[in-house]
Amino acid sequence: MLEKDFRQVSCSTCHQRKENLLGGLGCDEISHIEDHKSCNYYKKNQSLFIEGSYPRGVFCINEGRIKIYKRGNEGKEQIIQIAKGGDLVGFRAMFSEDVYKVSAETLEECNICFISREDFLSLMDSNPTLRKGIIKELSTELADRANFITNMAQKSVRERLAFSLLLLMDIYVGEPINLSREDMANFVGTATETLIRLLKDFKEEAYIETHARKITVLDRNKLMSIAGI
């Protein structure tokens, strides 16, 4: 449970910022953001933005996890990415000068700051380090997605589930993976029933254990060999 006074976060002391794309900012730049940003508390399952709307700025996650997803034709979500504390979200659409092509929604309680489009773009104009960081981030994500596409096309659901569990371990560091079965299925790219059946297999083979919806990985190496990495 998040503290109430957590809701107003200071950029200058934010430990998340020091590790992320905004880590290289100067004091004056930070205080400028500090004065202009807004900081909000979000409940679980709240929407940050939806496909088709115009971006007005970027979201900087201080605490909590969110899903970035796209809806297919029948309305089914495909989760493209799960972002966590420290991640910047929603800047891609801003650069493409177009509407959002994906939606974002909190998976749990979150504290999230918001920096306006104008502030962020002017920061990028004046700060080459930030600029390079952003370009590098975009490029790295493109490579990740090429990999995601290849996995989708060539791996079985079982292999993709093993792969996804390993990815989720890096998102839920030190804690059990805590996603609804439907969200997990939409991340792996399968039907909820199929996902549940395969989780059961993994449980019986003792690669994972579950407590209610929470999943703990017991045999990381085995999952890696199933995932083919």
State which of positions 43-72 bind a second copy (CB under 8 A): 70-72
Shortest reach from residue 14's CB to a second copy, in Å: 25
Q: Which two tokens stand for residue 82?
A: 């799960």
Shortest reach from residue 71's CB to a second copy, in Å: 8
Total of chain residues touching a second copy, rule CB under 8 A: 44
If one asks whether residue 168 binds a second copy (CB under 8 A), the answer comes out as no
In the bound state with DNA, the residue whose beta carbon lies nearer, of 116 and 210, is: 210
Q: Are 74 and 27 in contact (CB under 8 A)?
A: no
CA dihedral over 168, 213, 197, 73, signed as positive or negative: negative
CA 136, 179, 53, 89: dihedral to nearest 10 degrees? -30
In the bound state with DNA, the residue whose beta carbon lies nearer, of 19 and 193, is: 193
CA 19, 21, 24, 27: dihedral to nearest 10 degrees? -90
Bridge partners of 77, per DSSP, are 71
Shortest reach from residue 157's CB to DNA, in Å: 4
Shortest reach from residue 64's CB to DNA, in Å: 15
Phi, psi at 176, each rounded to 5°: -70, 150
Contact of residue 194 among DNA, a second copy, none (CB under 5-8 Å per partner type): DNA
Residues 6 or more apart whose CB falls under 8 angstroms from that of 146 comprise none
Q: Are 112 and 61 in contact (CB under 8 A)?
A: yes
In the bound state with a second copy, the residue whose beta carbon lies nearer, of 14 and 93, is: 93
Q: Which of 95, 156, 197, 206 binds a second copy (CB under 8 A)?
A: 95
Shortest reach from residue 176's CB to DNA, in Å: 11
Binding-site ranges for a second copy (CB under 8 A)? 70-74, 76, 78, 80, 92-98, 101-102, 125, 128, 131-132, 134-136, 138-143, 145-155, 189-190, 228
